[in-house]
Structure 1
């Protein structure tokens, strides 16, 4: 199998890498981390067509394959970018695409709209079917009541997709619907995330919505969420791969320049062996991401997804621990790039299911 990029893919990769290298100066990164994202960088990504690369031609983009997603997010990870491509593009935009809201999706691809997905609830962990928020019909419209937790990018979002239960009880696979809500109609409690960006708690206190706020059918929500989260999980795995590569490069450079006993510490055999172990594990992670990208639309997608996210979580922990130990105290300072990259890579394991959760799901699928 040929894993080389196409000419178009290579052009996108080279252009995106150059753009992010120039755009993410230390000052720009600090500002983006504090504010949640940079409007200027976001506009630049849209102008380059990066958002469009996440969608098929039929949806108004020019890519949309697993390899397109992996390419974009590996470069985003390599730069330590905090821009909400996952939340606005793959989650929010993906749900708009599935609901046939082409008018709004066009605005998202153009970089003119920010989205967020409000699905996670207190105590929900990683179970997509655990929804206690209710949606009650009120004439031709709906009334939402409940609470959502850790809604990434909500403070910057223009519209928020909210999941709610129209029937059944907590944990039922049926009866979950999705609603597109103007963010100005919601009560937000914003806060910064450890790895950069912003999130919010949301209180839904009998929020009234018109009939056209419903995305898809009243019971289609869970199936739509499963599909877009699979693509988002590939994205976060590819982002982790880019973060690992950036951390590896920083660590190798440090080992070459930091001297002890009159020579670079990279000449010490014990550190060479530890760095070789890290490199091997990163290559294992790369193979897993490539495998998942190739099987994103296949029948065994979930099996590959769980295996990949589990491996990424384990390798990410090793890379973070080894790099900080080899750097010493400088590795955890805000002024040094490793501090931001390590925090962001650590938090990858907590999005869309940690390593243990995906190991359990993999075992369950293999045993079925």
Structure 2
């Protein structure tokens, strides 16, 4: 397996990384991430003009490729810059619309004229899609409640996973005013919402199935793993620089061997996270997709928590202050474990897969 990025991916990462350094500064993030719509709309428009959303879509639809590797390159830079823009919801919504043949909507989203969000989970449901209780009648009217809808605040296209007579289907709501959207910021910034559906009219999409929805969720999980790698990498560098500057007992605390060992442990976790993300990326679209994705999500959930806790301890009191960026990286790493299923959810998913294979 080649662990080196291609020239095109290196250029994409460099361009997008420099853009985020300019637009996703800590000051701007703190001003926008907790106030509706919970992201910087001006920066989002500028990003669209750069064509970054093309990395989520195949070349047939005017994108850059849409492979799992393309997605991971973009999300690693998102994690490194700690951006709270609604990339995750846009990624999943774009993929589902593209696979359903909604070419016009895909082009509108890539041009920045529309923005989607994907609503799948419900209260008390974090993994098992068979437990989805939102229902669609024969006229396409939806009834139920969706929770933890990433990027829903301000979105003007809502994709809803709902149960019908044939099983699990996918429905599109283009009139968002017909839905009661209960929006709020997440603990680490960025928008999330619950949706209340009470006989809400929607349009069924083609080629929708539980398997396709699971595939898109797995791609979202791979994106979150890549984001965690970027955030962990940035936090380790930030912590190392702090230890080199902080003095105690007349010397830089970076010279203390015990602290050096802890930085090495953090670095090892980052590299393990990077390696297993690469494995999940390579497995996307194969028979090992679900297993390797859950393995990555489980390991990275543990690695992210360790890096966050170690960084705060090594920084001391400043590591918990609102003004210091390291505190926000730590928050984001903890939250990443819970999105699209936490480490425990994916451990249970792996156990279920093993039982299925044994049977």
Q: TM-score, normalised by structure 1?
A: 0.93
Q: After superposition, what is the alpha-carbon deviation per residue over 1:109-158, rounded to whole angstroms, capped at 9, x for unaligned?
A: 12221111121111112212221111112xxx322111111222211101
Q: After superposition, what is the alpha-carbon deviation per residue over 1:151-183, rounded to whole angstroms, capped at 9, x for unaligned?
A: 22211101111121113xxxxxx6111111121
| CA distance in structure 2 between the aligned counterparts of 1:161 and 1:260, rounded to whole angstroms | 55
Partner of residue 214 from structure 1, selected from 204, 210, 232: 204
- 2:168 matches 1:180: no
Counterpart for residue 360 of structure 1: 348
Partner of residue 325 from structure 1, selected from 313, 317, 320: 313
Q: After superposition, what is the alpha-carbon deviation per residue over 1:244-293, rounded to whole angstroms, capped at 9, x for unaligned?
A: 01110110011001111011111111111111111111111111111111
How well do the aligned residues superpose, as a CA RMSD in angstroms?
Answer: 1.4
| CA distance in structure 1 between the aligned counterparts of 2:317 and 2:127, rounded to whole angstroms | 34
| CA distance in structure 2 between the aligned counterparts of 1:215 and 1:208, rounded to whole angstroms | 13
Matches within 5 A, 1:264-279: 264-279=252-267
Matches within 5 A, 1:131-142: 131-137=132-138, 141-142=139-140
Whether contact under 8 Å (1:51, 1:111) holds in the other structure is no
Counterpart for residue 123 of structure 1: 124
| CA distance in structure 2 between the aligned counterparts of 1:364 and 1:176, rounded to whole angstroms | 20
Counterpart for residue 188 of structure 2: 195
Matches within 5 A, 1:283-302: 283-302=271-290
Counterpart for residue 40 of structure 2: 38
Counterpart for residue 50 of structure 1: 52
The SS at the match of 1:147 is strand
Whether contact under 8 Å (1:163, 1:221) holds in the other structure is no
Whether contact under 8 Å (2:85, 2:190) holds in the other structure is yes
Matches within 5 A, 1:59-98: 59-88=61-90, 90-98=91-99
- 2:21 matches 1:21: yes
Taking a change above 3 Å as real, the CA distance of residues 221 and 183 of structure 1, as seen in their structure-2 partners, is: farther
| CA distance in structure 1 between the aligned counterparts of 2:98 and 2:25, rounded to whole angstroms | 34
Q: Structure 1: which 5+ residue stretches go unaligned?
A: 168-173
Q: TM-score, normalised by structure 2?
A: 0.95
| CA distance in structure 2 between the aligned counterparts of 1:112 and 1:264, rounded to whole angstroms | 52
| CA distance in structure 2 between the aligned counterparts of 1:69 and 1:30, rounded to whole angstroms | 26
Whether contact under 8 Å (1:159, 1:183) holds in the other structure is yes
| CA distance in structure 1 between the aligned counterparts of 2:159 and 2:348, rounded to whole angstroms | 29
Q: After superposition, what is the alpha-carbon deviation per residue over 1:333-356, rounded to whole angstroms, capped at 9, x for unaligned?
A: 111101111111110110111111
Counterpart for residue 5 of structure 1: 5
Counterpart for residue 154 of structure 1: 152
Once structures 1 and 2 are overlaid, which stretch shifts more, 27-36 or 72-81? Answer: 27-36
Whether contact under 8 Å (1:38, 1:83) holds in the other structure is yes
Q: How many equivalent residue pairs?
A: 353
Q: Which runs of 4+ in 1 moved over 4 A?
A: none
